[in-house]
Chain A
Amino acid sequence: MIRLEKLTKTFDTPNGTVVAADKVDMEVPSGEICILLGPSGCGKTTALKMINRLIPPTSGKIFINEEDTSKQDDIQLRRNIGYVIQQIGLFPNMTIEENICVVPKLLGWDTKKAKTRAAELLDLVGLDSRQFLQRYPKELSGGQQQRVGVIRALAADPPVMLMDEPFGAIDPINREVIQDEFLKMQAELKKTIMFVSHDIDEAVKMGDKIAIFRAGKIEQYDSPDNLLAHPANPFVADFVGADRTLKRLRLVTAEEVVNADAPAVARSTGAGDVARRLASEGERIAVVIDGDHRPVGYVTADEIAGSTGDVGDLAHPLPASVPMRADLRAVVSEMFAHDIMWLACTNDEGRFVGVITQPAVTAALRATYTAPAAGAA
């Protein structure tokens, strides 16, 4: 857990005093990612660097796991905090292995243990350790360097990580990939992370909580969904953007809104049976599935009324289906693309799990609007 209490930093410059952090109060629970978000120059980096004491605070306190950091030795404190900077900062004179082993070595790990760890971490982010351990940073692509920058900070398994725009230096496509990889890692590692970003989309995707900064002050500290649904003031509303409702679509997965009770019938079922079932359940559509439980088509109550034969022969092909793990933005996008009101949803094996309708999507968005805004300032 990281707790900031009335954390303040002022810089005296020739043009007068700059207040980079103004009585910042916040708490990041253990195992969560907190995003510091705001326009350039609002004090995000300053706040972050006060935590590992690269910048000494003017006043206020910082606690890590209830321990006052000002009472700890700076060097020891830093060795127990993972630190990733925007410029990546791999040491060009060291191989990838040596780069990853820097902190373990500082902590006095046995060389063999440190090397095993380096290889393990490289493989974890999909870089073949046999191929990369002995390379130098200049022999890696930008995305590969960025991955090494992150695992270098993870090397000694610190409970707390500070990341200053860690994925800022790479192209958008690679950035999405690395973000996904990182979230997957975090799901297992459960680090307490302070993460600086200036990109609202990144913040919404990565954060358990988001703190919006303006001129050294926190304007709102909230969950991504609350922040988008209930901006505390016009500045926040403006910063998160006019399309904030669309952004919320990314926070909900298809799995959360799928109707698993939607009727599914085997190809060989008789049309009469299906019609009777739809009538009794008050449904208009049945999805037709094959022997492997994969959705292959659909029939409507109106069309099969009075028909004979198997529904497999009467079914229309499905225009589209979505995986359960897709977010609602992808779902809505598919619906708009095919001009349809509902979609079949499948699991990882391609088996049918249910149906998602447009009204269900809107209902999901509405739920947080009407729910009491927990924690909103």
Chain B
Amino acid sequence: MAITMNPARLTGIGIVVLLVAWAILAGALEPILSYRDDIVYLARQHMFLVLTSGGAAILVGVPVGIWLSRPSMERYAEGIMQVFNIGTTIPTLAVVALSMTLLGIGFPPAFFGLFVASLLPIVRNTYAGLLAVPPHLKEAATGMGMTQGQILRRVELPNALYVIFSGIRTALAINVGTTPLAFLIGGGGLGELIFTGIDLMDTGMLLAGALPTALLAVIVDFLMGQAQLHLIPKGVNPLR
């Protein structure tokens, strides 16, 4: 079934606000700011990973979901989805580790691991969303003389858009949450500050990585929520 994101946005914002407040009160702001240059450099690397792997997952996941939902695939689609579902149960850390064994260290395995971890919800929601479009809508469209392509573009996709969007939102949340692990396989990013901070028991360094990471997660989810609210047409948007 389709995954719908639990709108934990407010809680997320609350936690970040508390963290920042605590950091200031505990006098941790000074040490954090001393890593300013590292933060800027690593955050760029971090966001590059998120954008490329997330973007690739969308570009691949949506078409795969569409392809699986076509009547010609009916016989195999459920089986393939079963495999995908089993894939989702593998912890993302394991996915990242496995991709290192395949691709070595550096950007490629990090990109690939994040890509795979975000791909599943997108495929699954695209597939489920398209299958959930009421058959009588497709029948009406066919009976009115639309071609298969027109039915997909004008009827099926718009009516599945909300569910597909929920899948993308979930995927990006997973992606942003997993990206710190990229450091472990040489992919860089804010994970470098976090994990090194843990190793050195340096709270300032740890927070210099953790706070921007948390902030990024909240911002991404907020933007996705806004996009879901405003980009999906009113007629098929349960939020409006």
Contacts and interface: CB of A to CB of B under 8 A. Distances in A.
B155 A136 contact: no
Contact of A85 (B143, B158, B161): B143
Contact of A138 (B136, B161, B235): B235
A93 B142 contact: no
A103 B137 CA distance: 15
A278 B141 CA distance: 67
B65 to A, nearest CB: 18
A85 B136 contact: yes
B144 A78 contact: yes
Interface in A248-284: none
Contact of B144 (A94, A95, A106, A137): A106
Contact of A89 (B136, B147, B150, B158): B136
B235 A92 contact: yes
Given A85-B136, A136-B234, A136-B235, A91 B143 contact: no
**Interface size bracket, A side:** 20 to 34
A91 B145 contact: no
A106 B140 contact: no
A103 B159 contact: no
Interface in B183-240: 233-236
A265 B141 CA distance: 63
Given A89-B139, A92-B159, A83 B144 contact: yes
B206 to A, nearest CB: 47
B233 A93 contact: yes
A54 B139 contact: yes
B5 interface: no
A175 interface: no
Nearest to B158: A93
A87 B136 contact: yes
A315 interface: no
A103 B144 contact: yes
A53 to B, nearest CB: 9
A226 interface: no
B235 A106 contact: no
Given A93-B158, A136-B234, A83 B141 contact: no
B145 A76 contact: yes
B145 A79 contact: yes
Nearest to B137: A89
A81 B161 CA distance: 30
Interface in B107-163: 134, 136-137, 139-147, 150, 154-155, 158-159, 161
B235 A93 contact: yes
A102 interface: yes
Given A136-B234, A136-B235, A91 B137 contact: yes
A75 interface: yes
A80 B146 CA distance: 12
Contacts of B142: 54, 78
B148 to A, nearest CB: 10
A93 B155 contact: yes
Contacts of B233: 93
A146 interface: no
Contacts of B155: 91, 93
Contacts of A87: 134, 136, 140
A203 B77 CA distance: 44
B140 A89 contact: yes
A102 B159 contact: no
A94 B140 contact: no
A76 B234 CA distance: 31
A49 B140 CA distance: 11
A78 B143 CA distance: 6
A149 B115 CA distance: 44
Contacts of B236: 92-93
A252 to B, nearest CB: 36
A83 B143 contact: yes
Interface string A35-75: 00000000000000100101000000000000000000001
A75 B158 contact: no
Contacts of A85: 136, 139-140, 143
A238 to B, nearest CB: 32
B154 to A, nearest CB: 8
A8 B150 CA distance: 30
Contacts of A78: 142-145
Contacts of B136: 85, 87, 89
Interface in A129-173: 136-138, 162
Given A83-B140, A87-B136, A136-B235, A93 B159 contact: yes
Contacts of B234: 136
Contacts of A93: 155, 158-159, 161, 233, 235-236
A52 B234 CA distance: 32
B235 A94 contact: yes
In the A-B complex, the 3 residue pairs with the smallest Cβ-Cβ separation, listed nearest first, are: A89-B140, A79-B145, A136-B235
27 contacts: A49-B143, A54-B142, A75-B145, A75-B146, A75-B147, A78-B142, A78-B144, A79-B144, A83-B140, A83-B144, A85-B136, A85-B139, A89-B140, A91-B141, A91-B155, A92-B137, A92-B236, A93-B158, A93-B236, A94-B154, A94-B158, A94-B235, A102-B144, A103-B144, A106-B144, A136-B234, A137-B235
Interface of B: 134, 136-137, 139-147, 150, 154-155, 158-159, 161, 233-236
Given A75-B145, A78-B142, A94-B154, 19 more contacts: A75-B146, A75-B147, A78-B143, A80-B145, A83-B144, A89-B137, A89-B140, A91-B137, A91-B140, A91-B155, A91-B158, A91-B159, A91-B235, A92-B159, A92-B235, A94-B158, A106-B146, A106-B150, A136-B234
